[in-house]
Amino acid sequence: QVELEESGGGLVQPGGSLRLSCAASRFALDYYAIGWFRQAPGKEREGISCIGSSAGITYYSDSVQGRFTISRNNRKNTVYLQMNSLKPEDTAVYYCATYVGCSSRAALTTTPGYWGQGTQVTVSS
């Protein structure tokens, strides 16, 4: 059973930063490409970033490119999403998920395999 748990969400003012964490239990993350997607109320799921299993490859959606950074620490079995210059339109529930691969930006539009319960990010003044 693949289990992922997101943490680090919260309320932040526009322009602020948050770092989300995605911890895996019962399996080793380093075998998987991992990504983050988000979903805001009334909107479709949006894949925003992914990282290859070896951490050498990363991709971002246009909406977060230059502001968000994905990274992984396979020794800690954890993936991170550093989010800077947050905007109100970044408000959503953020999920980390396993992906078949992360070989191009097209991977962000594929259906994730497993994902966690999500963590709420609210950007508001």
Q: How many angstroms separate the CA atoms of 72 and 123, rounded?
A: 24
Arithmetic mean of pLDDT over the chain: 94
- Residue 53: pLDDT band with limits 50, 70, 90: confident
Per the structure block, which two tokens stand in for 28?
């080793």
**Structure confidence by residue, pLDDT tens digits, 55-87:** 679 999 999 999 999 999 989 999 999 999 999
Q: In whole angstroms, how far apart are CA 93 and each of 7, 31, 46, 86?
A: 11, 25, 11, 14
| pLDDT for 124 beyond 90 | yes
Average pLDDT over residues 100-107: 93
- Could you tell me which residue, 54 or 41, shows the higher pLDDT? 41
